[in-house]
């Protein structure tokens, strides 16, 4: 994420969630809850509010703050989706976009 701005936060959340749902063929009704974490340099909006704007009105959402670590990725939002599925763990596609790709260089997006 380039800037700590409300619209950019929402746009990045929408991009990430849409790709996760698309790549994994997730039915929103199968989502038990979603946890968002963001680095301390993101405070212009709650990332979970971006999911609400997308229409995720029935999905329980929770936000938390990452620790302020000098070795961390700047302006980073991460998401953990608690998904009711029978898809084997090794077949679930985990996505790391933009600067967050350094967190899992072993994965190909």
- Domains in the chain (CATH in brackets) are 6-102 (3.30.1330.40)
Considering only CA atoms, which of 98, 71, 101 is closest in space to residue 2? 98
pTM (predicted TM-score): 0.85
Per-residue pLDDT reduced to its tens digit, 9-20: 999 999 999 999
Residue 106's pLDDT band, with cuts at 50, 70 and 90, is: low
Per-residue pLDDT reduced to its tens digit, 69-104: 888 888 999 999 999 999 999 999 887 776 665 555
pLDDT of 108 higher than 90: no
């Amino acid at each position: 994420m380039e800037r700590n701005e409300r619209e950019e936060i929402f746009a990045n959340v929408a991009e990430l969630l849409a790709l996760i749902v698309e790549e994994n063929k997730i039915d929103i009704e199968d989502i038990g809850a979603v946890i968002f974490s963001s680095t301390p340099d993101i405070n212009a909006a709650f990332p979970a509010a971006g999911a609400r704007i997308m229409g995720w009105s029935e999905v329980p959402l929770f936000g938390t703050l990452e620790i302020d670590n000098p070795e961390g990725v700047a302006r980073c939002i991460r998401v953990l989706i608690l998904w009711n599925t029978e898809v084997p763990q090794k077949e679930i596609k985990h996505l790391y976009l933009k600067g967050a790709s350094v967190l899992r260089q072993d994965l190909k997006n």
